Amino acid sequence: MIITTSDKEPSEYKLKTSFKYAEINELWEKQTITFITKAECRKALDQLTFKFGRKKFAPPNIRWNMQKPRIVKSMICLSGDPTTLSKGWRDLIHTISHWVYNYRKGYKNHFGHSYQQAELELEISKFVISSGWLEGGLKSKVIILTKEEKRQKKLDHLQNLINKWQRKQKTANTFIRKYTKKVKYHTKK
């Protein structure tokens, strides 16, 4: 169904969509948006894909799961203004909402900025805000080791390497014995 109106007057559907985007913008204006690193971006994309891009959301004609989303350069924001639409958390959420929306529609509906996509973006935004990711919930925990703990960790690692190579040596000895027997068998006349 194509809605035609005059060029100056937007359709009811476009108005509804723009109000939904305005609701998203109001939600983000109330938040303090922090910088986002590449590691946080990877964790966020993986978790959002798992939460919103599961197989149960896919149409029946798609047999594979949603592909692992790639990190786009604009999603990482280490300096500048992280509150803009084109970088950081807002760009990450907007982009992943488009990817998930396309996945849910079976990659057939290429009308990206629709009302359903805006609803999905609002849902993802609320999930990110309530999860505490803006306050650093995805940052990796920094563990400071003492000299003794570092030394012990190194010793454990070296012992694991020794054990690994001893297992490989046993396997090699077993195969050498096995092939030696085969050579003896095949050289008999």
What confidence tens digit (pLDDT) does each residue in 17-34 have? 899 999 999 999 989 999
Do 64 and 121 lie in one domain? The reply is yes
Q: What angle do CA 63, 66, 70 make, to 5 degrees?
A: 150
Claim to verify: residue 104 and residue 31 sit in the same structural domain: yes
CA distances to 40, 90, 101, 115, 130 from 48, in Å: 12, 14, 12, 20, 13
> Which structural domain range is residue 155 located in?
143-189
Which residues pair with residue 143 across a beta bridge? none
- 53 part of a folded domain: yes
Q: Nearest Cα to 123, choosing from 156, 100, 154? A: 100
Closest residue by Cα to residue 30 from 75, 83, 95: 83
Element (H, E) at 101: helix 89-104
Residue 3 within a domain: no
Last residue of a domain, one of 107, 135, 163: 135
Residues 128 and 155 in one domain: no
User: How large is the average pLDDT for residues 74-99?
Assistant: 89
The whole-angstrom separation of Cα 50 and Cα 68 is 9
Residues 87 and 171 in one domain: no
Give the C-alpha separation, 66 to 48, whole Å: 11
126, 169: one domain? no
Domain end among 114, 135, 156: 135
Q: Is 42 in the same domain as 102? A: yes
Candidates 83, 95, 147, 86; CA nearest to 120 is: 95
* The pLDDT of residue 1: 42
Q: Is residue 6 part of a domain?
A: no
177 and 109: one domain?
Answer: no
Q: Are residues 49 and 89 in the same domain?
A: yes
Structural tokens at position 142: 């920094």
Question: Do 88 and 149 reside in the same domain of the chain?
Answer: no
Is 7 part of a structural domain of the chain? Answer: no
Instruction: Name the pTM for this structure.
Output: 0.69
Q: Summarize pLDDT for 149-176 with one digit per residue, the tens.
A: 999 999 999 999 999 999 999 999 999 9
The answer to whether residues 176 and 108 belong to one domain is no
DSSP letter at 36?
A: B
Q: Is residue 4 part of a domain?
A: no
Asked whether the predicted pLDDT for residue 9 surpasses 80, the reply is no
Using alpha carbons, select from 44, 52, 29, 33 the residue that is nearest to residue 116. 52
User: At residue 45, what is the residue type?
Assistant: L
